[in-house]
Amino acid sequence: MGSLKSAWQPFKKEHDDTLSQTMVLALHEQMKSVGVLISGGNLGGTVFRVGSKYVMTALHVINNIIDPTKTGVWDVTLLESTDTHINFHESPLTPPMVPYRLKRDFMYNVDLDVALLEVTNPSNLPMKLNLCKDEIGVTNVSLIGYGHPGQIKKCLDPKCEIVHPNSHRILSAQAWLQQNKNFFKLALHGIGRNPALVDKGYQGYDQSSKLIFDCYMKRGASGAPALTNDNERSVQVVGILTHGLPDFYFSLPELMKPQFPKNYRLEVGAKMKDIFNWINSQSREIAKDLFGEGSQMPDRNQLQLPKEITDMDNETVETYIRALEKGKTEYNNIRVMVVGHFGVGKTTLVNRLFGQFKDEETTETPSTNGIETHVRQCNIISDDKNEKMIWKQKKDGK
């Protein structure tokens, strides 16, 4: 009997990235709401429709349009130029039936690298995407954008795995970069670029407002929505793709990029929860427009919050307010502490409050060693006339 010749073939995937038919259909609908920002004939980046008349993208995508020479001076009139428009077609080369234009005034956040722009002709915009303002645990996200390295069409990058900030992978990447830092600095210096970019490394990866994940798409995908689903029919945007790490990788000579381990390259996005907090702090009306009726954060001055809460930072206060919005319950427990000198009758007093009477002449109450705690269920009867509370223990003694 002849022996079998074995040849290793990677037929078995290491992870599950399958999608059900329902999920494919749901994501297909979302893809219609993702477009590309074009300025001067150049593809600027990915945008997606939100709210009644807005699109969202990465701030640096807008910065490349209004400050093309990197002088640090913005010319926002370029956003209103007829050379700048949004195309929602699958291919940017397909002329849009309606070239959607932008207003020059826009909201932006430098730390999040996010921009919100108003469309001047919002009629017939594709459907708005469902934005998630809450912190939810996700293991993967799906991206929709125009950054496929092999084509310029709009693509779906499904089930991009979330990378934990404290994972062994990131720690290994930092250690590897530390060992090879001088090599990359010399490479950048040799082509006239700033070697100090290497020192930034993976800076900012551990910020709580960031999502870290793997994806296949590259440049052009900045501004892409990161979507997840809590069930097959409900798709939500939980973040927005902003940039890749380490940043200096994109400044390396093209011949050197393949030498950089793919496992040590990461994509970063801003969490929609933090985008909501920022927008809500700037305009409660716009936050309501984008995130829905229940998205406005109540006015903290009208809530009469405890001083212990108001003394904390804004993020903690907003977390407390959101917890209140989700529901509250009355806490009817009260604590009573009986204190006094040794042997004055504290235990006797407590016993009598509980209806436990003893003959003090024949029965000696033992001294309490340390402290005693008791839990009783009682009816509290308000005596408004005499402005006092009457404690009536329930008959079952519980």
pLDDT digits (tens, 9 = 90+) for 191-246: 999 999 999 988 888 888 999 998 888 878 999 999 987 555 578 999 999 998 99
CA 304 and chain centroid, separation:
28
* Cα 302 from Cα 336, distance rounded (Å): 31
User: Which tens digits make up the pLDDT trace of 256-287?
Assistant: 888 889 899 999 999 999 999 999 999 999 99
| Cβ atoms < 10 Å from Cβ of 327 | 6
Name the pTM for this structure. 0.70
At which residue do the structure tokens 């990058």 appear?
Answer: 157
Please identify every stretch of the chain with a pLDDT value under 50, giving residue numbers as ranges.
Answer: 1, 387, 396-398
Q: Which two tokens stand for residue 12?
A: 């078995």
Task: Provide the pairing of β-strand 210-213 with 155-161.
Answer: unpaired
Provide the β-strand partners of residue 54.
Answer: 50, 118
* Residue 22: φ, ψ to 5°: -60, -40
The set of residues, in sequence order, having a beta carbon less than 8 Å from that of 297 and lying 6+ positions away, is: 280, 284, 287, 318, 321, 322
Q: Are the beta carbons of 131 and 276 closer than 8 angstroms?
A: yes
Q: Which of helix, strand or coil describes residue 380?
A: strand
Q: Which two tokens stand for residue 135?
A: 């912190």
**Which one-letter DSSP state was computed for residue 131?**
B
Locate the domains of the chain by residue range: 21-275, 298-328, 330-398
| CATH code for the part of the protein at 21-275 | 2.40.10.120
**How many Å from the N-terminal Cα to the C-terminal Cα in the chain?**
82
Give residue 184's region: left, alpha or beta (phi > 0; psi -120 to 50): alpha
Q: Are the beta carbons of 37 and 81 closer than 8 angstroms?
A: no
pLDDT of residue 397: 44
pLDDT of residue 283: 92
The radius of gyration computed from the CA coordinates of the chain, to the nearest angstrom, equals 31
